[in-house]
Amino acid sequence: MAEAKRERQGRRWGRLVAGRLNQNRWMLAAGVLAVLVVYSIAEESTFFVVVCIAALFVAAAVAPRRTARQRRAEAAAVGERSALERLSGENLAAAVADPLILFDGAGTVVHANDAALDAFAAVGPGISLQLKFRAPEMQELIAATLAGNGSPQVADYVERVPIERVYRVTGSAIGRGTGLYVLVFKDQSEARRIDRMRADFIANASHELRTPLASIAGFVETLRGPARKDAAARDHFLQIMQNQTSRMARLIDDLLSLSRLEMKPYLKPGTRVDLRAVVQGVIDSLSPLASESGVAIETDIPDGPFEVPGDRDELFQVFENLLENACKYGQSGGRVTVSMENMETGPQREVAVTIHDFGPGIPEEHIPRITERFYRVDVETSRAQKGTGLGLSIVKHILTRHNGRLSIKSKVGEGAAFTVHLPAG
């Protein structure tokens, strides 16, 4: 048994040594040739030659052997280099989603990808960049890029036709000695719009809170001074202060509602809600307000299922805001109608709920902006009706979470119709 084991080990080592020798045969041959050359020149002894050749065989046998994984990695690297060499500049430019323009040392366009052609008209090969982009910041950027100080150049550029777009433009040389340069345009329009909205929101919220606070502070000072002993004035001022604190409380509640809605992810279909019950509940809760405003609420809701996936409390808030606005701002019309119907919009069925008042209506130029935060058609009327300017913005956010939408139709003198569209499937 021991002899058989030693024999197997001997054969295994023999195969290993043969494999190493075969793999390193070129190194071995070169070494033997070098020894023979030295022998012929220096006339060394035969024993010296034999020793050197034996040492070469041992070195070749024990030299590290490349594994199959290493060979595959080397082959893959060669394949990648071949693939990169086959790529052209046009293919690389087409793979970039942002507008990209290649130009030469004279500032002439060599190539523009599809995104650049869509963003900037007439920017094909042969066009001079200095003539195409006449803004001072772009002229300076192109000149600095062509000067070639070794670092990328960056500038902000505004394209105003056909619509205003803001870009962060980066210019740099391509490689060394190619004589080619590149401009990459990163669209910053959406980020700038969000920044402006955030700044406007903070300014409007501060203004809305500052006004009642200033009023309350003034009345407190008056009550502590000239009106300290005037009972009638004290009651009048205290009533105004109560109204102002109620207004601030409503504003804070609406701001918190917006904040909670923005922090929630989009609603996934789950619980189904009966819109008929939700709308009827809203009508019942606002009946006292309608009576106080002299408005009659009329309904046109046919029989049939009106279920949609969603959150009942949030949908209740949607219709409560819309019906309350209709009663307040459309009270001159004397009535408000609430209708509901199933609609087929392509492959998907949806439920449409329309709340229509017959008041003064909304001028057409205000309709696109009416769901913006703090946007008011008539500031004095809104404040007189204790509005915060956030109700329709909350409605839009809730409908967006429910994959729904709000459509508005209005004519001055004929009232306004707000329609909520919610997917039924």
* Residue with token string 């917006």: 258
| 78, 83, 89, 95: CA torsion to nearest 10 | -120
pLDDT, position 267? 57
Going by C-alpha positions, the residue among 420, 416, 373, 417 that lies closest to residue 400 is 420
User: DSSP letter string over 147-210?
Assistant: HT-SS-EEEEEEE-SSS-EEEEEEEEE-SSS--EEEEEEEE-HHHHHHHHHHHHHHHHHHHHHH
3-state secondary structure of 252: helix
CATH superfamily of 89-187: PAS domain (3.30.450.20)
Q: What are the φ and ψ backbone dihedral angles of 298, each rounded to 5 degrees? A: -110, 140
Sign of CA dihedral 153, 156, 157, 162: positive
CATH of 266-423, one of 3.30.420.40, 3.20.20.30, 3.30.565.10, 1.10.3720.10: 3.30.565.10
Sign of CA dihedral 318, 322, 323, 327: positive
| Contact in structure between 183 and 169 (CB atoms under 8 Å) | yes
d(CA 373, CA 353): 23
| Sign of the CA dihedral running 391, 394, 398, 404 | positive
- Domain layout of the chain by residue ranges: 2-62, 89-187, 191-262, 266-423
**Fold matches, 89-187 and 191-262:** no
Q: Which two tokens stand for residue 238?
A: 């205290």
Q: Is 365 in contact with 337 (CB distance < 8 Å)?
A: no
Are the CB atoms for 171 and 183 separated by under 8 Å? Answer: yes
Strands 272-274 and 307-309, sheet pairing: antiparallel
- Which residue bears the tokens 């719009």? 193
CATH code for the structural domain at 191-262: 1.10.287.130
* Per-position pLDDT tens, the chain of length 425: 555 555 565 555 455 445 544 554 545 444 444 444 444 544 555 555 455 555 544 444 444 555 556 666 665 555 555 544 455 666 777 778 889 999 998 999 998 888 888 888 778 888 898 888 989 999 999 999 988 776 888 999 988 777 788 999 999 988 777 888 999 999 988 888 777 777 766 776 776 677 778 878 888 888 888 877 788 888 888 888 887 887 788 778 777 777 777 666 555 656 888 899 899 988 888 888 888 888 898 988 888 778 888 888 889 889 988 998 888 888 888 889 999 998 876 677 889 999 999 888 888 888 888 888 777 776 565 555 556 677 888 888 888 888 888 999 988 888 899 999 998 87
pLDDT confidence of residue 38:
47
Q: Say what the pLDDT of residue 268 is.
A: 63
Helix (H) or strand (E) holding 337: strand 335-345
- Number of C-alpha atoms within 13 angstroms, CB side, residue 272? 10
Cβ atoms of residues 317 and 279 within 8 Å: no
- CA 38 remoteness from chain centre: 73
Sheet of 165-173: strand order equals: 109-112, 100-104, 180-187, 165-173, 153-159
pLDDT score recorded for residue 67:
55
